[in-house]
Amino acid sequence: MADTIFAKIIRGEIPAQKVFEDDAMIAIRDVAPAAPTHILVLPKKPLVNIADADESDALLLGSMLLRAAAIARDEGFSESGYRLVFNINKDGGQSVPHLHLHVLAGRSLGWPPG
């Protein structure tokens, strides 16, 4: 796996505004937010994207989704609503080759998204 900006944040080499951290993942505020609230949930396991995951990653992926829901409650936007997004590869909008879940909130999010 490439030595990405997310890998450097996970290792503590680049500062980030942490929202959550445990042994499996870290959640940070996005430095270029696409919504008033934009948080990234990053697994510490070096996966390129969801297409790189396999059955052994099911617990980690589920934990990321549950963490996103907990962040929504903690940040106070669970009731008003939010969007969870995994971008996969170039055409899917992925700019950093490290799996990350976008948590977007704070405004009405239109559909379709792209």
Domain count for the chain: 1
Give the residue, 110 or 26, on which the prediction is more confident. Answer: 26
Catalytic residue annotation: 100
Return the half-sphere exposure (C-beta side, CA atoms, 13 A cut-off) of residue 4: 20
- Return d(Cα 57, Cα 62) in angstroms, integer: 9
**Averaged over 79-106, what is the pLDDT?**
97
- In which domain, by residue range, is 24 found? 5-105
Mean pLDDT along residues 45-69? 97
The confidence band for 54, taking pLDDT boundaries of 50, 70 and 90, is very high
- What is the arithmetic mean of pLDDT over 60-82? 98
CATH of the domain at 53: 3.30.428.10
